[in-house]
Amino acid sequence: MSDKDSCAKKSRVNGLITLLFAARLMTGAAMFAGCTTAPPQNEGITVMQSDGTYVNLPHTAERIVILSSNAGEMLQILGAADKVVGAADSILTNEYIGPMFPNAADTGKWNVPDLETIISLSPDVVIAYSSSKPNNADAIKAANIPIVYIDCYKPTTMCQDVRELGKLVGNTEEAEAFCKYYEGVMDTLSSRISNISSEHPRVFCEGYTDYSAQGVGSGMDLLLNIVDGVNIIQEEDTSSSMKVSPEWIIDQNPPVYIKVVTHANMADAENRYNAITSRTGFSGIKAIEDNRLWLIDSGITYGPRCFAGAASFAKMLYPDEFKDLSVEDMLKDYNKRYSLNLPVENTVYPKF
């Protein structure tokens, strides 16, 4: 892009921001009252974000831009997908999530969305991840467009996030119905596991990249806690980018080994599985010897479908106790219940 074109684009953005400010000042709309650690007393609606802070909005959101695919999936479940006027390109190009928003404009990268496009859509709110905020969040807020950080990502805070999202879009009954369904599955798993007297297995959870450890507080660790597994990584807030050595894994000798991969990479699951078992020295690891290495689709490990991930973990750790449980049937029911077309097969390898 030439300097002249760049300047022209900046000028258009500044002009749109000015017009937007003027229009909203004329209508007296105070679109964003800021974030606080306690519920503000302003009029309108108050939404608690995933980080525990609060945002006040003048009314429920009717025009939404989404940068989070998990929140996008949940909007479909809540019956509010038609309120999405813009979405990150990674959402729109997702073969399963994208079709939920046929009329949404492409707002560019989820971490650096196009400000000019967002302003042109006149959204009431932008929804993003609390742990991965857009790099230009300040510029979006400077345009008097509120950003609400609701994850719908972690299993332990799922229903809190869903209820707040339901409040944001005015679909609280639908949010409560989902939470009843979700908590019913989780409670059933916990109840059955509480009656298991055998020792709970030690597990190594590997992230997307080789030898990346999933420690305390990670999404996989939270699922492991639900099914009473023991994470061999005990460091707090370990990210998926933290590497451990092959020798360390061999020395730990985990009885169960679970690796998360994207759904697209599940198509190559057999080769990825064999790549792990053929690592130098890994043939002697108990999980490999006992055929207790699994690959799991990230689509059921994180986000609204993580109840299916918890069920998968339960089957991995306690195969005899959960041999009657079908994860595929759970996902089929989820699709039917919420009129979805999300993956049902090939979410775990080897197949149960």
**Could you tell me if residue 320 is inside a domain?**
yes
User: Where is the domain boundary, 152, 171, 190?
Assistant: 171
**Could you tell me if residue 227 is inside a domain?**
yes
Whether the upstream peptide bond of residue 123 has omega within 30° of 0, thus cis, is no
Of the candidate ranges 30-39, 127-136, 178-187, the one whose mean pLDDT is the lowest: 30-39
Task: Say whether both 241 and 288 belong to one domain.
Answer: yes
**Could you tell me if residue 5 is inside a domain?**
no
**DSSP states along 101-141:** -TTPEE-B-SSSB-HHHHHHH--SEEEE-SSS--TTHHHHH
Task: Say whether both 137 and 217 belong to one domain.
Answer: no
**Could you tell me if residue 183 is inside a domain?**
no
pLDDT at 37: 56
**Could you tell me if residue 83 is inside a domain?**
yes
pLDDT at 19: 41
**Could you tell me if residue 7 is inside a domain?**
no
Q: Give residue 173's identity as a one-letter amino acid code.
A: E
Task: Say whether both 160 and 275 belong to one domain.
Answer: no
CATH number of the domain encompassing residue 329 = 3.40.50.1980
**Could you tell me if residue 8 is inside a domain?**
no
Rounded Cα–Cα distance for residues 269 and 202 (Å): 23
Entry pTM: 0.86
Task: Say whether both 216 and 262 belong to one domain.
Answer: yes
Task: Say whether both 155 and 205 belong to one domain.
Answer: no
Task: Say whether both 204 and 341 belong to one domain.
Answer: yes
Q: Is the pLDDT at 185 greater than 90, yes or no?
A: yes
Structural domain span for residue 52: 24-171
Task: Say whether both 30 and 165 belong to one domain.
Answer: yes
Question: Sign of dihedral through CA atoms 223, 226, 227, 229?
Answer: positive
Task: Say whether both 165 and 239 belong to one domain.
Answer: no
Task: Say whether both 92 and 151 belong to one domain.
Answer: yes
Query: CA triplet 307, 49, 89: central angle to 5 degrees?
Result: 70
Task: Say whether both 275 and 164 belong to one domain.
Answer: no
Q: What is the pLDDT of residues 124-146, one digit of tens each?
A: 999 999 989 999 999 999 999 99
Total count of domains within the chain: 2
Q: What is the pLDDT of residues 280-312, one digit of tens each?
A: 999 999 999 999 999 999 999 999 999 999 999
Task: Say whether both 237 and 299 belong to one domain.
Answer: yes
Nearest-CA neighbor of 61 among 164, 197, 187?
164
**Backbone Cα Rg of the chain:** 22
**Could you tell me if residue 344 is inside a domain?**
yes
Nearest-CA neighbor of 88 among 114, 111, 105, 107?
107
Q: What is the pLDDT of residues 305-337, one digit of tens each?
A: 999 999 999 999 999 999 999 999 999 999 999
Would residue 89 be called left, alpha or beta, if left means φ above 0 and alpha means ψ between -120 and 50 degrees? alpha
Task: Say whether both 101 and 141 belong to one domain.
Answer: yes
* Mean pLDDT for the stretch of residues 97-105: 97
Q: Is the pLDDT at 15 greater than 80, yes or no?
A: no
